[in-house]
C-alpha cells in the first residue's frame, strides 16, 4: 500500500467510533502517525506503535482540546469525526438537547479546527483539515424529525467553507465530507429492516478523507463533499 502519509502526524477526533476506527486503520496503512483524543483511554487490539490514543480529552472543553493539540509536534492533518446523532421532533427537543447537539457536532469541530490551525502554523509546513457534516446538513429538507442535528451539521458545513476562505494562501486546506447513512453496527441495529447495501461503507469514506489530507491534494479547499452516490 502506498505510504502517502509516511512521517506525517495526523489527529483523528472520534477515532474510537465506528467510522473513526476504519479511518484510523486506513491512515496508519498509509504511513501516518495517528493521535486520537478520547474521553476514556481505550485499549486497542493489535494496535500500531504509530497509534496514540490519549484518554481524558472531552472535545467540548476548550482547555482540554488546546492541551491535546499542544502536545503534538509537527501536525500535518486533523480529521474531525467526533459527533453524534439525535432524532426528536421539535416539541420533544429541550434546550439542553439542542445545545448538546451543537456542542457535540459543531463546537467540537470548531475547537479542533482552531487548535489544528495553531499547531499547523507552529509546524510551518501547511496542513489539511477535514470535518464531517452529514447529508441533512447540506439538504435540510431531509432533516424533518432531527432539526437540532440538522442545524448542528449545517453549521459544520458553513464553518468549513468560511475557514477555508479565511486560510486561503496559507497552505492549510479545509474540507468536509457529508456522508449519507453509514453502514455501521449501530445503524444495522437501529434499522434492522433497511437495505444496508444502499448505505455508505466506512472504508469508502476513509478513502475520500485520505485523498483530502494527502499532500497530493493541493487545490481542493472549501468543499463539502456529498458522499451519497448510491442512493
Ligand X SMILES: NC(=O)c1ccc[n+]([C@@H]2O[C@H](COP(=O)([O-])OP(=O)(O)OC[C@H]3O[C@@H](n4cnc5c(N)ncnc54)[C@H](OP(=O)(O)O)[C@@H]3O)[C@@H](O)[C@H]2O)c1
Report how far apart, in Å, the C-alpha atoms of 31 and of each of 8, 28, 35 are: 8, 5, 13
Pick from 78, 101, 106, 108 the residue near ligand X by CB under 6 A: 108
Instruction: Give 82 or 206: the residue with its C-beta nearer to ligand X.
Output: 82
**What are the strands of the beta sheet with 9-13, ordered from one edge?**
51-54, 33-37, 9-13, 75-80, 127-132, 172-179, 224-227
Residues 6+ apart with CB under 8 A from 103: 60
Phi first, then psi, for residue 103 (nearest 5°) are -65, -45
Q: How far is the CB of 187 from ligand X (least distance, A)?
A: 5
Instruction: By CB under 6 A, tell whether 225 contacts ligand X.
Output: no
Instruction: By CB under 6 A, tell whether 81 contacts ligand X.
Output: yes
Number of residues that bind ligand X (CB under 6 A): 24
Instruction: Give 7 or 56: the residue with its C-beta nearer to ligand X.
Output: 56
Q: How far is the CB of 78 from ligand X (least distance, A)?
A: 14
Pick from 25, 58, 62, 207 the residue near ligand X by CB under 6 A: 58
Pick from 50, 62, 84, 171 the residue near ligand X by CB under 6 A: 84
Please provide the DSSP assignment of 163-210 as one string: HHHHTTTTTEEEEEEEE-SB--HHHHHH-TTS-GGGSBPHHHHHHHHH
Q: Closest CB to ligand X belongs to which residue?
A: 17
Q: How far is the CB of 183 from ligand X (least distance, A)?
A: 8
Instruction: By CB under 6 A, tell whether 176 contacts ligand X.
Output: no
Instruction: By CB under 6 A, tell whether 132 contacts ligand X.
Output: yes
Pick from 30, 79, 104, 173 the residue near ligand X by CB under 6 A: 104
Instruction: By CB under 6 A, tell whether 4 contacts ligand X.
Output: no
Instruction: By CB under 6 A, tell whether 60 contacts ligand X.
Output: yes
Give burial (CB, 10 Å; 0-12/13-18/19+) of 38: buried
| DSSP state at residue 102 | I
* Cα torsion 11, 13, 19, 21: sign: positive
Pick from 101, 160, 184, 214 the residue near ligand X by CB under 6 A: 184
Instruction: Give 134 or 212: the residue with its C-beta nearer to ligand X.
Output: 134
End-to-end CA distance of the chain: 30
Q: How far is the CB of 224 from ligand X (least distance, A)?
A: 12
CB 159 within 8 A of CB 113: yes
Indicate the pairing of strand 51-54 with strand 33-37: parallel
Residues of the shown chain interacting with ligand X in the complex, contacts defined by CB under 6 A = 14, 16-20, 39, 58-60, 81-85, 104, 108, 132, 134, 179, 181-182, 184, 187
Amino acid at each position: 500500500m502506498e505510504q502517502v502519509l509516511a512521517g506525517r502526524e495526523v489527529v483523528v477526533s472520534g477515532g474510537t467510533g465506528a467510522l473513526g476506527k476504519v479511518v484510523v486503520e486506513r491512515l496508519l496503512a498509509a504511513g501516518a502517525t495517528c493521535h486520537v483524543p478520547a474521553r476514556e483511554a481505550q485499549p486497542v487490539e493489535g494496535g500500531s506503535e504509530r497509534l496514540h490514543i490519549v484518554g481524558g480529552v472531552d472535545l467540548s472543553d476548550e482547555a482540554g482540546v488546546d492541551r491535546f493539540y499542544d502536545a503534538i509536534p509537527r501536525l500535518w492533518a486533523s480529521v474531525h469525526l467526533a459527533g453524534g446523532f439525535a432524532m426528536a421532533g421539535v416539541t420533544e427537543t429541550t434546550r439542553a438537547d439542542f445545545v448538546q447537539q451543537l456542542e457535540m457536532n459543531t463546537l467540537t469541530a470548531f475547537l479542533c479546527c482552531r487548535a489544528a490551525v495553531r499547531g499547523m502554523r507552529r509546524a510551518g509546513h501547511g496542513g489539511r483539515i477535514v470535518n464531517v457534516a452529514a447529508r441533512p446538513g447540506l439538504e435540510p429538507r431531509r432533516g424533518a424529525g432531527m432539526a437540532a442535528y440538522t442545524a448542528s451539521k449545517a453549521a459544520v458545513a458553513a464553518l468549513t467553507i468560511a475557514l477555508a476562505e479565511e486560510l486561503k494562501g496559507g497552505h492549510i486546506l479545509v474540507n468536509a465530507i457529508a456522508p449519507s447513512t453509514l453502514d455501521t453496527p449501530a445503524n444495522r441495529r437501529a434499522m434492522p429492516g433497511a437495505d444496508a447495501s444502499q448505505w455508505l461503507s466506512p472504508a469508502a469514506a476513509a478513502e475520500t478523507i485520505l485523498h483530502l489530507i494527502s499532500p497530493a491534494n493541493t487545490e481542493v479547499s472549501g468543499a463539502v463533499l456529498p458522499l451519497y452516490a448510491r442512493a
